[in-house]
A = this chain, B = another copy of it.
């Protein structure tokens, strides 16, 4: 008997197909994929074998993790001054780029650094989460000037995340968000040309990068989720169900014929509590089956409830002791919580979280 709990599986063929599709339309020089989705050295190898040479991560700790494998790393999260010692300890041969946001004390940052680093200004081009407001020219100008006068920092450009594409539905809405915010960044670049003559524009949400084909005027693209995709991206229109490259195998632990439900060992500690609305119902996952839309309709800490009310006859084909494969709503969070992957041969792939609980 196989010894098994709830496991995250990766379909390497689908994941590398997703990657290849991006490489067909994104110039290698522009491509700096975000590794916060997979957080894995083993999966990073699939990028290396395709000549990708630079990556994005979301924390200093994650940069440390990948610095053994990569020599050009952008930390696309406003710099955490409390962890500067870890940043300084990264091998000097690894090129590190960092991010500043409103309130980052540039002089103090400069004094804490023990080496040169490239810096991007995080720009809020309309998403509303983090960054300098794209139209706050005086503050942006002042910040660039401070960086230009520093000892260790080199200002490289503007970085934005068009996160509102995650609320969009379909290509047209995504294209509109992309165009509006791109124009704001290009306009900002023009206005700062005197202070920042070789300004790099870095963007990269998965919806834009998935549905658009041309990225003119953009210097760097940082999508992350595309390597796995998930139900949220399928709903947005970034992918089809066939493209989802990860699924969670969950043991069936109860079958409730009257309620038309199956109880699985698959809850918030496996999927996270990320949800989407489908036909006004909140769902947390879906049976990895394109034909039958059977959803994870409720989850608690360990329990997941699969709703078979639309397909009661299918209930009869399952038994307690079987397992069901479930597509996650948000693969980044599911991978982060589970901290592992199993490939088709049953080999376990590494995940940053497995090794960094002390961060």
Residues of A within 8 A of B (CB): 1-7, 36, 58-61, 77-86, 101-105, 108, 112, 122, 128-131, 133, 136, 163, 251-259, 263, 265, 268-269, 272-275, 298, 300-303, 305, 319-321, 323, 332-333, 336-340, 348, 351, 353-354, 357-359
A302 to B274, CA, bound (A): 14
Residues of B within 8 A of A354 (CB): 357
Q: List 13 A-B contacts (CB under 8 A).
A: A1-B84, A58-B301, A59-B265, A59-B302, A80-B265, A81-B320, A81-B321, A103-B254, A129-B303, A130-B263, A268-B272, A273-B273, A340-B357
Residues of chain B with a CB closer than 8 A to A257's CB: 102
B263 touches A321 (CB 8 A): no
Complex interface: chain B residues within 8 A of A259 (CB): 128
A105 touching B319 in the complex, CB below 8 Å, given contacts A78-B254, A251-B81 = yes
Asked, given contacts A103-B320, A274-B268, whether A332 binds B301 with beta carbons under 8 Å apart, the answer is yes
Let me know if A3 and B302 touch, CB within 8 A.
no
How far apart are A103's CB and chain B's nearest CB, in angstroms?
4
Taking A268-B274, A272-B273 as known contacts, 20 extra A-B pairs with beta carbons closer than 8 A to each other, sorted by chain A number, are A1-B112, A2-B82, A4-B82, A4-B83, A5-B60, A5-B80, A59-B302, A77-B265, A77-B302, A81-B251, A101-B320, A102-B254, A103-B252, A108-B321, A122-B254, A136-B258, A163-B300, A273-B273, A336-B337, A339-B339
Chain B, residue nearest A105 (CB):
B320
Do A254 and B302 have beta carbons less than 8 Å apart?
no
CB distance from A258 to the nearest CB of B (A): 7
What are the residues of chain B within 8 A of A81 when measuring CB–CB?
A: 251, 320-321
In the docked arrangement, what's the CA distance between A6 and B353, Å?
13
Oligomeric state, in copies = 2
Contacts of A5 in B (CB 8 A): 59-61, 80, 82-83, 359
Which residue in chain B gives the minimum CB-CB distance to A78? B253
Q: Which B residues lie within 8 Å of A79 (CB)?
A: 253
Q: Contacts A268-B272, A300-B163, A319-B105 given: A3-B83 contact, CB under 8 Å? A: yes
Q: Which 8 A-B pairs have the closest CB atoms?
A: A101-B254, A103-B255, A81-B321, A78-B253, A5-B359, A4-B82, A273-B273, A103-B320
Chain B residues whose CB sits within 8 angstroms of the CB of A252 once the complex forms: 103
A302 to B102, CA, bound (A): 17
Do the beta carbons of B133 and A258 come within 8 Å of each other? yes
- Chain B residue contacts of A337, Cβ below 8 A: 269, 336-337
A2–B82 CA distance with the chains assembled, in angstroms: 7
Q: How far is the CB of A266 from chain B (nearest CB, A)?
A: 11
Asked whether, in the complex, the Cβ of A82 is within 8 Å of the Cβ of B1, the reply is yes
Closest to A299 in B: B129
- Per the bound structure, the CA–CA distance linking A122 and B77 in Å amounts to 46
Report yes or no: B254 in contact with A104, Cβ–Cβ below 8 A: yes
**Who on chain B is nearest to A39 by CB?**
B269
Which B residues are CB-close (under 8 A) to A254? 78, 101-104, 122, 130-131
In the complex, how many angstroms separate the beta carbon of A22 from the nearest chain B beta carbon?
Answer: 20
